[in-house]
Every structure is written in structure tokens, then in C-alpha cells.
A = this chain, B = another copy of it.
Amino acid sequence: MNWTNDLTQLLKIKYPIIQAPMLGVTTPEMVAAVSNEGGLGSLPVGLQSPEKALELIRKTKSLTAKPFAVNLFAHDLPEIDPAAISELQDRLLVIAREHGLDYNPVEIEKIRHYSYREQIEIIIAEHVPVVSFTFGVIDQESIRRFHEAGILLIGTATSVREAQHLESIGIDVITAQGIEAGGHRGTFLFDEPLPQVGSMSLIPQVTDQVKVPVLAAGGIMDGRSIKAAMILGALGVQVGSAFLRSDESLGIDVYKDAVADSADTETVLTRAFSGRWARGIRNTFHDEVEKLNLDYPAYPLLNDLTVPMRTASQKSQNKEFTTLWAGQSARLAKSKSSAEIFRDLVIETEELLKLK
């Protein structure tokens, strides 16, 4: 089996291993380490102001001359109903304070949302070679602008139907996100129940149904899962949880420890933190919000409200009120530098690729 394929040629990388964009965990240092080792790092700039996005891109470019991807959040901006948001915030504050966590809530009138459209000009000007997106699909005008600038586009699909949609609108590479994956689900077609397809079923069916290169995401942690994904038809993989415990991760110590100790059954799909489905290790906040049976507001309104709570939780090394995004294989994550983690993936996979 070949390590070098259409995908590595397209992305101009040595190994078809993409580090997943993990907002709140990924740093420019992590992105650069992966790209410098011959993979593709992914820098998340979702929710960021254009100025902040520019700063992050420039920081990454200062650390690597290799290709990396910038990841956008492609959702529409929500209407803000101050009364409803204020009521929701009050309910969250009650939970936090009942459990002894004190923090200053968001000033609702100061909430400011940025569209991915505000970030496009910067990305083109900075000659970023690859743009990935999730939380929706970028519009046709944006696709045209990126393609005119020679930028490759990677979209995320959680079902065959989503993959076919992405291919039909001209997306160059599709990440097939199995239910094993940590963090937010990339689901964007909402007329059916949330797709929960395991990688063993999703990868072969997606690769059967689309012609563009497919990346496998979800449960990819080592040489075994990389080779397995490629046998199922993926030309490459996207790896997230494997970098959670890396030196370059923003994860606090108690989060990293929870990842190391996590059983295969320990993560849950929850909307508690952001209003969008995501997989993470279950904690107190998840359980308390589930009880409320919320009518979740459009993304990222709940996310806005939980930011100060999560920050306070992190500052006090309390893992009960912050996101502990992790996949179902997260316990296999190693505590090393991102470069070492990446090299281990390469060595393990090359060993297995030598074997029949």
C-alpha cells in the first residue's frame, strides 16, 4: 500500500496525516510541528475576529514554511434575543454557583460574532494553501474565491449524503467523520436525526460514493487505525485526540489526565457547552444541563455564555465545568511533543505498511 497518493500530491505533503483543528486545544506550535514533520497541521480560526485570525496565521507561518490548513466555522450568524439569552445565562449561573464555581457572566450586549466571510480576504492575502471548514458549508461565492486563489478546500461529512453534497458543490477533499470522533460533529444536513455512523461503515460507503479523496476521522490514533482506514478506502486520515496530551496542547492538566484515564465508553455526545453536538468526557456541567431539557439556541450563542464559565473552571484546574472533548479512543493519546507523536504515527504506519 502506498503512502504517497493523490492526496499527498494534492496537498503537497509527505504523509497523508492531517492534525485536526481543535479550537481551544490547538496552538500555532502544534500546527507547525505537524507540518514541519511532513503532515498537514490545521489552525482553527472559527469565532475569531479577522485581526486575531491574522495574528494566528502569521504566528504559524513564523514557525513553519510547510503547507498548513486554516479551519473556518461556516455557520450563519444568529439573531440575538437578549431576553431569552439572559434567561438562559441565569440558569447556567445557578448550576455553576450551586457547585461552587464563581465567574463573571457574559455582558450580552457585548457579544460580537464574526462570519467566516470576514476571514477570507486575510486567508487569501496570506497565501494559506488549504482551507477546511465545518459547522455548515461555505457558500458558492466563497468557494469560487478560494479556488480562484488556488486554495484547496476540505469539508467534513458525517454521512454519505453529506459527502455527496460536498462533492457536488466542488469541495476538493472530504473528511468522513465517524461517530468515534471527539469534539464537534461536522453534521450540516439537519433534516434527519443526527447521523451516528461508525467509521467501519462510513469510510467504505463514502469512498464508494464519491470520487474526491477522502480523509478518515474518528478513532484514528495509531498505525493500526491509519492502515485500517486506508484499507477501507481513505487516502489519508485526520487525527485529533492523539494530540490532546501533547506538549503544544492548550488542554489543562486535569483534562489531559482525564483523557489518559478515559475508558472507551466514557465519552458522550452532548450539546451542553455550545448548543451543537460534540463528543467529550462526561462531567458535572454536561449532566446538569441535560436535566434542564433546553431548547438550544443557534450556534454560537450557548458557546458565548459558557466561555467565562469554562475559563474560570480551567483556571482553577476544575474539569467539571469546561469542555473535555475527546474521541472514543482518546486513552491511547500520548504525553509527548506533537512532533514526536506525529513521528510515532509515521513509524507505526510504515511498519504495518511493510507487512501484508
Among the stretches A66-74, A138-146, A201-209, the one at the interface with B is: A201-209
- Asked if A36 lies at the interface with its beta carbon under 8 angstroms from chain B, I say no
B231 and A352 form a contact (CB under 8 A): yes
When chains A and B are docked, how far (Å) is the Cα of A93 from the Cα of B315? 57
- Asked if A183 lies at the interface with its beta carbon under 8 angstroms from chain B, I say no
A200-B197 in contact given A264-B159, A353-B356, A355-B356 (Cβ < 8 Å): no
Cβ proximity bits A251-270 to B, threshold 8 Å, 1 near / 0 not = 00000000000011100100
B218 and A198 form a contact (CB under 8 A): yes
Q: Which of B222, B232, B328 contacts A198 (CB 8 A)?
A: B328
- Asked if A75 lies at the interface with its beta carbon under 8 angstroms from chain B, I say no
Which residues of B lie under 8 Å from residue A196 when comparing CB positions?
Answer: 179, 196, 265
- The majority secondary structure among interface residues of chain A is loop
Residues of A334-356 at the interface with B, using a CB-CB cut-off of 8 Å, are: 352-356
A204-B161 in contact given A198-B218, A228-B231, A352-B231 (Cβ < 8 Å): no
Cβ proximity bits A162-196 to B, threshold 8 Å, 1 near / 0 not = 00000000000000001110000000000011011
Q: Which residue of B lies closest to A329 (CB)?
A: B201
- Asked if A219 lies at the interface with its beta carbon under 8 angstroms from chain B, I say yes
- Asked if A38 lies at the interface with its beta carbon under 8 angstroms from chain B, I say no
When chains A and B are docked, how far (Å) is the Cα of A205 from the Cα of B264? 8
B233 and A224 form a contact (CB under 8 A): yes
Cβ proximity bits A323-335 to B, threshold 8 Å, 1 near / 0 not = 0000111011000
- Asked if A134 lies at the interface with its beta carbon under 8 angstroms from chain B, I say no
Which residues of B lie under 8 Å from residue A268 when comparing CB positions?
Answer: 193
Cβ proximity bits A227-246 to B, threshold 8 Å, 1 near / 0 not = 11101110000000000000
A180 and B197 form a contact (CB under 8 A): yes
B198 and A180 form a contact (CB under 8 A): yes
Chain B CB count within 10 A is highest, among A201, A204, A327, for A201
A331-B179 in contact given A161-B265, A224-B231 (Cβ < 8 Å): no
For this complex, 24 residue pairs linking A to B, each with C-beta atoms less than 8 Å apart, are A1-B355, A159-B264, A160-B265, A180-B200, A193-B268, A195-B265, A197-B328, A198-B199, A198-B200, A198-B218, A200-B200, A200-B218, A200-B219, A200-B229, A201-B219, A201-B264, A202-B264, A225-B232, A228-B228, A228-B231, A228-B232, A354-B356, A355-B356, A356-B356
